[in-house]
């Protein structure tokens, strides 16, 4: 039999075996460090540990921290160890609640702790270090649902009891470390010793669990809290407190009890209220003439910009939309990535001197012909679209570089405002299983790419890491430059996206490198009740990705 051995998806070697052998025995004969491998992926279809027996020709992918899936395994494993540490110190009287990602980690609080202090945080950090140093096995166990319910009742995990009480499966898979049990929808590392680098930073009333950087495997210091993004998360979390929806079980209960339509109306009203507030504030600043809108992929920037324009018109302003894509350099002058492909996401792909020249002339009151970019030929050509700014006119530009001051360096700060739009998800499966913001955006993109661009889920998933790399380089470093922030996430949106994404994701071949990612997203969606599209207003941001948006007509 032939073993196709890969390291983070890159072919390492082909090994011929005559007899059955475990993965541990196979790796021992190579230069791959087994202590760096978080999990092993077999034939793109399942994760196993190093005891897995190889009995026939197999593709074995060694997943380390530096693989996108390995990075998620590392994060969830660190949260598992954090949960075990808190349980060891406080028992079932207090429990971990992971609220949301922020910066290079996640923010959490201790449920049931009356006065959580910096000293308590340090005790937990020391306990985590002991668990890591002990090199304890993290064992994956399958058991009857009824047995799992009894375990979590005894541990005081009301969140999991609520979820499992609505579950109809006979068996569930749990993770155990010593006598500590937890449930995760994603795989964990095989041993606690694999989570070597982390930090726990006190921030009343909770803390940040920090992870090393995805590219370098190093923690960065000094630690800086992205205050504007953090405040957006906290603001949304307060609304969920009022609405009493924190977990998918709460959302599913609204569907089961026929109360979801009112919840949708309230959430959409909150969106409209926020957009109107931003528009009114801008309208009261006569010196502002340029609005820059930026955010990561699939955040709903297009719908946000159009709804903002409507609200600006209600404030007696006339928004004029300028396309940033029309300012690309000629194709032959476009910067390239290390692999030779054109780097269209780099700010260097834009003709910044020409853009700033036109913006300056427009703001001086001159009539200017906006360009039009011919993407087929890779050249800029005439548009015969002339713009002259009137007293109540505002320029609106949407693009990934809107928050980068290099984009509009010639425009004085008082003449422009920057708006950051992102889907900052607050809804979790339970207290420990967070739903990453990137997962919600990826599902949005899979549905939109299939609906309007004819792309398969496989194609979108395989391109997603390149998209993420571009965001990390070109968007996230500048998010704190924003004058306004808008959270485009809708707590109910997974119930809408599910019916659209389900069939598309099931079309991913088992032989594809995208299969496990598709299966992971399907597992996430399996926890969500369907919500009818008919309940969604036609100007909703989520309709930008599904169908029926009024802004498409």
User: To the nearest whole percent, how much of the chain has pLDDT over 90?
Assistant: 80
pLDDT at 222 over 80: yes
Judgement on whether residues 50 and 176 belong to the same structural domain of the protein: no
pLDDT at position 272 over 70: yes
**Residue 113 pLDDT level (bands cut at 50, 70, 90):** confident
pLDDT of residue 103: 87
Same structural domain for residues 52 and 104?
no
Parent domain of 86: 70-225
Q: What pLDDT, on a 0 to 100 scale, did the predictor assign at position 305?
A: 94
Same domain, 90 and 163: yes
Residues 233 and 221 placed together within one structural domain of the fold: no
Average pLDDT over residues 125-144: 96
Cα separation, 385 vs 527, whole angstroms: 50
pLDDT (average), residues 377-397: 91
Mean pLDDT for the stretch of residues 424-436: 91
Token couple for 35:
């202590």
CA dist., res. 315 & res. 291, Å (int): 15
**Cβ atoms of residues 508 and 45 within 8 Å:** no
End-to-end CA distance of the chain: 58
Q: How many domains does the chain have?
A: 3
Residues 377 and 403 in one domain: yes
Percent of residues, the chain, with pLDDT higher than 70 = 100
What is the pLDDT, as a whole number, of residue 343? Answer: 85
Strand pairing report for 58-64 and 2-7:
parallel
Task: Summarize pLDDT for 495-537 with one digit per residue, the tens.
Answer: 999 999 999 999 999 999 999 999 999 999 999 999 999 999 9
pLDDT of residue 243: 84
Please tell me the distance from the alpha carbon of residue 361 to that of residue 162, in angstroms, as a whole number: 61
Mean pLDDT value of segment 299-323: 95
Judging by beta carbons within 10 Å of its beta carbon (0-12, 13-18, 19+), is residue 455 exposed, middle or buried?
A: middle
Q: Which of 553, 55, 545, 535 shows the shortest CA–CA distance to 266?
A: 535
Q: For the purposes of burial, counting CB atoms within 10 Å of the CB of 284, is it exposed (0-12), middle (13-18) or buried (19 or more)?
A: exposed
CATH number, domain with residue 140 = 3.30.980.10
Tell which of 64, 93, 110 closes a domain: 64
Distance CA 304, CA 272 (A): 10
- In degrees, rounded to 5, the angle at the alpha carbon of residue 255 between the alpha carbons of residues 250 and 259 is 95
Task: Tell me what the mean pLDDT of segment 27-41 comes to.
Answer: 92
What's the CA gap between 251 and 428, in Å, rounded?
A: 10
What tens digit of pLDDT does each residue of 454-506 get? 999 999 999 999 899 889 999 999 999 999 999 999 999 999 999 999 999 99
State pLDDT tens for residues 144-198: 999 999 999 999 999 999 888 878 889 999 999 999 999 999 999 999 999 999 9
> In the prediction, which pLDDT does 499 show?
95
* Average pLDDT of the chain to the nearest whole number: 93
The rounded radius of gyration (Å) of the Cα atoms in the chain is 25
Which residue, 36, 64, 92, sits at the end of a domain?
64
Strands 484-487 and 318-323 turn out to be unpaired
CATH code, domain carrying 429:
3.40.50.300
Number of H helices and E strands in the chain, helices first, is: 14, 21
- Residue 12: which CATH number? 3.10.20.30
| Shared domain check, 137 and 99 | yes
Instruction: Name the DSSP class of 420.
Output: E
Q: pLDDT band at residue 242, thresholds of 50, 70 and 90?
A: confident
Give the model's confidence band at 334: pLDDT under 50 very low, under 70 low, under 90 confident, else very high.
confident
Do 505 and 493 lie in one domain? The reply is: yes
Q: How far apart are CA 542 and CA 204, in angstroms?
A: 34
Overall average pLDDT of the 397-404 stretch: 92
Query: To which residue do tokens 């979801």 refer?
Result: 260
Is residue 112 within 8 A of residue 96, CB to CB? The reply is no
Predicted local confidence at residue 312, as pLDDT: 97
Looking at the fold, whether 130 and 47 belong to one and the same domain comes out as no
488 and 347 assigned to the same domain: yes
pLDDT of 236 > 90? The answer is: no
Q: What is the pLDDT of residue 114?
A: 79
Among residues 144, 151, 85, 145, the alpha carbon closest in space to that of 120 is found at 85
Q: Are residues 191 and 281 in the same domain?
A: no
Residue 553: predicted pLDDT: 63
Residues 170 and 50 in one domain: no
Band (pLDDT 50/70/90 cuts) for residue 260 is very high
Same domain membership, residue 156 and residue 296? no
**End-of-domain residue from the set 172, 191, 225:** 225
């Amino acid at each position: 039999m032939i073993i196709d051995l890969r390291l983070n998806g890159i072919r390492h070697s082909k090994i011929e075996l005559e007899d059955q052998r475990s993965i541990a025995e196979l790796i021992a004969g190579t230069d791959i460090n087994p202590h760096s491998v978080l999990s092993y992926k077999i034939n793109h279809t399942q994760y196993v540990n190093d005891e897995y027996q190889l009995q026939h020709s197999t593709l074995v992918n060694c997943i380390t921290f530096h693989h996108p899936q390995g990075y998620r395994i590392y994060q969830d494993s660190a949260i598992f160890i954090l949960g075990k540490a808190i349980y060891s110190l406080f028992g079932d009287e207090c429990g971990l609640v992971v609220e949301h990602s922020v910066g290079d980690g996640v923010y959490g609080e201790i449920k049931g702790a009356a006065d959580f202090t910096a000293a308590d945080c340090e005790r937990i950090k020391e306990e985590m270090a002991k668990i890591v140093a002990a090199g304890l096995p993290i064992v994956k166990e399958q058991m009857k649902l009824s047995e799992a319910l009894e375990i979590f009742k005894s541990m005081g995990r009301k969140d999991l009891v609520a979820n499992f009480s609505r579950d109809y499966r006979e068996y569930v898979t749990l993770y155990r470390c010593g006598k500590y049990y937890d449930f995760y929808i994603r795989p964990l590392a095989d041993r606690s010793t694999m989570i070597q680098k982390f930090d726990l930073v006190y921030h009343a009333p909770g803390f940040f669990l920090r992870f090393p950087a995805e590219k370098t495997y190093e923690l960065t210091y000094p630690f800086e809290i992205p205050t504007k993004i953090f405040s957006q998360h906290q603001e949304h979390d307060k609304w969920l407190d009022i609405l009493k929806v924190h977990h998918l079980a709460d959302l599913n209960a609204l569907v089961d009890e026929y109360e979801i339509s009112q919840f949708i109306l309230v959430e959409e009203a909150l969106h409209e209220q926020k957009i109107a507030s931003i528009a009114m504030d801008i309208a009261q600043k006569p010196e502002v003439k340029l609005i820059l809108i930026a955010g990561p992929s699939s955040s709903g920037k297009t719908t946000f910009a159009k709804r903002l324009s409507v609200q600006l018109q209600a404030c007696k302003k006339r928004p004029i939309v300028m396309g940033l894509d029309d300012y690309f350099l000629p194709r032959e002058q476009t910067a390239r990535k290390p692999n030779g492909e054109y780097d269209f996401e780099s700010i260097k792909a834009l003709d910044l001197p020409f853009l700033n020249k036109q913006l300056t002339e427009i703001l001086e009151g001159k009539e200017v012909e906006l360009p039009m970019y011919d993407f087929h030929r890779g050249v800029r050509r005439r548009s015969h679209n002339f713009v002259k700014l009137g007293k109540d006119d505002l320029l609106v530009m949407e693009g990934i570089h809107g928050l980068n001051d290099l984009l509009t360096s010639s425009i004085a700060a008082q003449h422009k405002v920057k708006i950051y739009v992102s889907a900052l998800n607050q809804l979790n499966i339970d207290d420990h299983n967070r739903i990453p913001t990137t997962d919600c955006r990826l599902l949005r993109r899979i549905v939109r790419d299939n609906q309007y661009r004819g792309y398969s889920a496989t194609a979108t998933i395989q391109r997603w890491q390149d998209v993420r790399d571009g965001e990390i380089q070109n968007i996230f470093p500048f998010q704190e430059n924003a004058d306004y922030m808008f959270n485009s996430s809708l707590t109910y949106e997974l119930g809408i996206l599910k019916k659209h994404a389900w069939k598309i994701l099931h079309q991913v071949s088992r032989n594809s490198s995208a299969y496990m990612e598709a299966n992971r997203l399907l597992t996430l969606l399996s926890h969500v009740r369907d919500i009818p599209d008919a309940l969604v207003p036609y100007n909703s941001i989520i309709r930008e990705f599904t169908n029926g948006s009024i802004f498409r007509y």
